[in-house]
């Protein structure tokens, strides 16, 4: 009876990343019987987030806002209102209402993490949303030619090949709740998202990386569908994994989830004009390094290519469920 109870409990999954890809995936995962904790990057320094970060001295709210919206159980109209971005109002132009609300909640509560928790309650968020650190961090990149670029938003615009990224300060302290969530997790899921500016910054927080390495949870990597200009030009799946290994110094993942669905030629052409192409699955190279690959048709196209949240979350849940059953 006890073991049956353990099998039936909701698996604890920690999802780590930032950006649009993470939010899309979470919309699918929240429909599964999972206990979700999302750990979100705080390196963003562009747009509305960058302005609020600099003027109010708070961590950037943009990626946090998107994840809250993805996990919210609120009325669609409320979600739409919070994502609304002012266009012409002096002093407000470029800001989303959700970013301003997070800034207001932080001011009212006196603490960014408490502000997130309070807004999560208002939005009936399914799960927890935590920043990777309690303060904003500065992301820097060393390019292959030796140039140092400062600022998350500036790195993809440099037009150079990235050698490595690093944090300033290098010894940034993670949020203790985030470390504890990783220690208690049944599954740790990293990606999708901008490799060097959304995913790796979280893994550069020393105690977070150590907690992931030490964890006995099943570890999954969801690879991007398309390369990103200025970050992962011509990268294969294996190149993504090699970049993470080079920064962390450890083989992190048990499974790699990738898209092998065909992308229509007209859509490929549209992305090619922007300098982006489908991430090539170098299957032999990836499996030889000890990763187990789950490949499926995982893309949808509306205005942009996005992961099929329902199909992707199905694969993730089955992997987590099977892992827990094997552990019993």
**Backbone angles phi and psi of 181, in degrees to 5:** -60, -40
Mean pLDDT, range 169-183, rounded to an integer: 93
- 3-class DSSP state for residue 174? strand
Whether residue 40 is predicted with pLDDT greater than 80 in this model: the reply is: yes
> How does the average pLDDT of the chain come out, rounded?
89
pLDDT of 167 > 80? The answer is yes
Coil, strand, or helix at residue 24?
helix
Tens digits of residue pLDDT in 187-236: 999 989 999 999 999 999 989 999 999 999 999 999 999 999 999 999 99
What's the CA gap between 171 and 43, in Å, rounded?
14
Model pLDDT, residue 161? 95
Task: Encode 177-237 in three state secondary structure.
Answer: HHHHHHHCCCEEEECCCCHHHHHHHHHCCHHHHHHHHHCCCEEEEECCCECCCCCCCCCEH
Give the distance from CA 164 to its chain's centroid.
Answer: 19
Pairing assessment for the beta strands 218-222 and 128-131 based on DSSP bridges: unpaired
| Cβ–Cβ < 8 Å for 202, 139 | no
Q: Is the pLDDT of residue 8 over 70?
A: no
Task: Provide the whole-model pTM.
Answer: 0.91
Whose tokens are 């979600």? That residue is 79
Distances (CA, A) of 51 to 19, 48, 152, 270: 17, 5, 14, 31
Angle between helix 97-109 and helix 76-83 axes, rounded to 10 deg: 90
Lowest mean pLDDT among 83-97, 118-132, 197-211: 83-97
Residues 293, 245, 252, 130: is their CA dihedral positive or negative? negative
- Phi first, then psi: give them for residue 133, nearest 5 degrees: -145, 160
pLDDT of residue 61: 79
Q: List the beta strands (DSSP E) in the chain.
A: 12-17, 35-40, 128-131, 138-143, 148-150, 162-168, 187-190, 218-222, 255-259, 292-296, 299-301, 305-307
Query: What residues does 36 pair with on adjacent strands?
Result: 13
pLDDT tier at 5, thresholds 50, 70, 90 = very low
Q: Which helix (H) or strand (E) holds 69?
A: helix 62-71
Q: Is the pLDDT of residue 71 over 90?
A: yes
Query: What per-residue confidence (pLDDT) applies to 75?
Result: 66
Question: Phi, psi at residue 35, to the nearest 5°?
Answer: -95, 100
Is the pLDDT higher at 77 or at 35?
35
């Amino acid at each position: 009876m006890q073991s049956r109870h353990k099998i039936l409990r909701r698996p604890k999954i920690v999802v780590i990343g930032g950006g649009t890809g993470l939010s899309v995936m979470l919309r699918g995962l929240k429909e599964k019987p999972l206990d979700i904790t999302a750990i979100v990057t705080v390196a963003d320094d562009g747009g509305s987030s960058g302005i609020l970060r600099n003027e109010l001295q708070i961590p950037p709210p943009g990626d946090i806002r998107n994840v809250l919206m993805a996990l919210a159980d609120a009325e669609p109209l409320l979600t739409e209102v919070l994502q609304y971005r002012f266009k012409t109002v002096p002093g407000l132009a470029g800001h989303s209402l959700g970013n301003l609300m997070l800034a207001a909640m932080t001011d009212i509560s006196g603490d960014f993490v408490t502000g997130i928790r309070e807004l999560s309650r208002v939005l009936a968020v399914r799960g927890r949303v935590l920043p990777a650190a309690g303060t904003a961090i500065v992301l820097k990149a060393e390019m292959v030619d030796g140039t140092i670029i400062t600022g998350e938003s500036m790195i993809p615009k440099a037009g150079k090949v990235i050698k490595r990224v690093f944090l300033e300060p290098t010894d940034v302290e993670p949020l203790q709740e985030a470390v504890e969530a990783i220690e208690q997790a049944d599954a740790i899921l990293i990606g999708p998202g901008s490799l060097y500016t959304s995913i790796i910054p979280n893994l550069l927080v020393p105690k977070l990386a150590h907690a992931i390495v030490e964890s006995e949870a099943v570890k999954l990597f969801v690879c991007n569908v398309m390369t990103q200009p200025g970050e992962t030009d011509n990268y294969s799946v294996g190149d993504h994994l090699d970049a993470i290994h080079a920064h962390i110094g450890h083989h992190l993942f048990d499974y790699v989830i990738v898209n092998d669905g065909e992308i229509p030629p007209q859509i490929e052409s549209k992305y090619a004009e922007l300098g982006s192409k489908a991430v090539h699955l170098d299957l032999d190279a990836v499996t030889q390094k000890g990763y187990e690959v789950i490949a499926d048709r995982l893309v949808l196209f509306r205005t942009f290519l996005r992961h099929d949240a329902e199909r992707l979350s199905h694969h993730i849940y089955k992997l987590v469920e099977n892992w827990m059953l094997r552990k019993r």
